Homo-oligomer: A and B are copies of this chain.
Amino acid sequence: MARPSHVRSAVAGLLGERHAWTVDEAHAALRDRGVPADRASVHRALTRLVADGEARRFELGPRAHFERASSHHEHVVCEDCGEIAAVPGCVVDDAAVARRTGFAVTGHSVTFSGRCAACSR
């Protein structure tokens, strides 16, 4: 297969199902759906989607995670179940950093940790 790209479209579909995926998670999910693909292909598909602006990559702990490209948001990870949720809106103050450090701030990477509603109970 070439243009439609078997693996890539399947991977793109995954991005709509859940917030964040690691390469291995996506790989396993495809296998479960009867779409076996090589890890490398999944990795390349995700990398391609990022290059095309359809996905975004972020690092969380020791491995890379991918999510569908959308409006800017931060992430919060549940320490118990590992669930990753988006934090809507802006919760950091770039201007304050610029004021305090003398740096011209161009971006930030933020990850919150905590416990999701289910694990809190």
Chain A interfacial positions (CB closer than 8 Å to B) = 59, 74, 76, 78-79, 85-89, 91-94, 96-98, 100-117, 120
Query: Beyond A76-B105, A98-B114, A103-B115: 7 further Cβ-contacts under 8 Å?
Result: A85-B101, A85-B103, A97-B114, A104-B115, A106-B113, A109-B110, A109-B112
Contacts of A111 in B (CB 8 A): 108-110
Please tell me which one of the listed residues B106, B110, B117 contacts residue A110 in the complex, with CB atoms under 8 A apart.
B110
Check if B109 sits within 8 Å of A114, measured CB to CB. no
Contacts of A117 in B (CB 8 A): 102-103
Check if B88 sits within 8 Å of A91, measured CB to CB. no
Chain B minimum-CB-distance residue to A89: B100
Contacts of A92 in B (CB 8 A): 91-93, 110
A45 to chain B, nearest CB (A): 22
Contacts of A88 in B (CB 8 A): 100
Check if A108 sits within 8 Å of B106, measured CB to CB. no
A-B pairs, top 9 by smallest CB distance, nearest first, are: A105-B114, A102-B117, A103-B114, A108-B112, A104-B115, A91-B93, A106-B114, A109-B111, A110-B110
Check if A116 sits within 8 Å of B102, measured CB to CB. yes
